[in-house]
Structure 1
Amino acid sequence: MYHKSKSGKQEDLVYKTGSIALYTGNYEFVEYVDGTTWPAPTWNERKIPLDRGDVFPPVKSTNKAAWWRYIG
């Protein structure tokens, strides 16, 4: 599943924890699904590599569900 989010003039596709990755590549943390960004993910958790078919994880250090943006 994916969710469209407006970011300025550009629309980005963001993926929720528990969704299946449609593309192999890197994804970056956008925000938690509760709309917060705090506590911030660790440096290593801000960008994650996934293969197509992988499940989007929660942020490990907070165990919170997140929105992730595909960055290539």
Structure 2
Amino acid sequence: MASVGDRFKTGETCVASGVYGFGGYTDGTSSPPPTQEERVISLRQGHVFPPIRSSNRGAYWLLHRLH
């Protein structure tokens, strides 16, 4: 089970339904920033963590709240 604050990355399967926030790019860079709509996502268990589509790059996702 996931806990608030746990970090996941693009391509991993979501283990807990919840609200996730952008936690940085997987390549360590910081620009360009994701769009406002991409910064926070709601994801269901079993779905795959997405990339930041506006820059087509992998991202880290931090669990903010469980559903």
Q: Quick check: 1:59 aligned with 2:52?
A: yes
TM-score for both structures, normalised by structure 2: 0.87
- The residue type paired with residue 33 of structure 1 is T
Q: Gapped runs of 5+ residues in structure 1? A: 1-11
**Greater relative CO (CA pairs within 8 A, separation 6+):** 2
TM-score for both structures, normalised by structure 1: 0.81
- State the Cα RMSD in Å: 0.8
Q: Indicate the structure with greater strand content.
A: 1
Matches within 5 A, 1:3-42: 12-42=5-35
Percent identity (aligned):
43
Rounded to whole Å, the distance in 2 between the matches of 1:16 and 1:57 is: 8
Runs of 4+ in 1 over 2 A off after TM superposition: none
Aligned length: 61
Q: CA deviation at 1:61?
A: 0.3
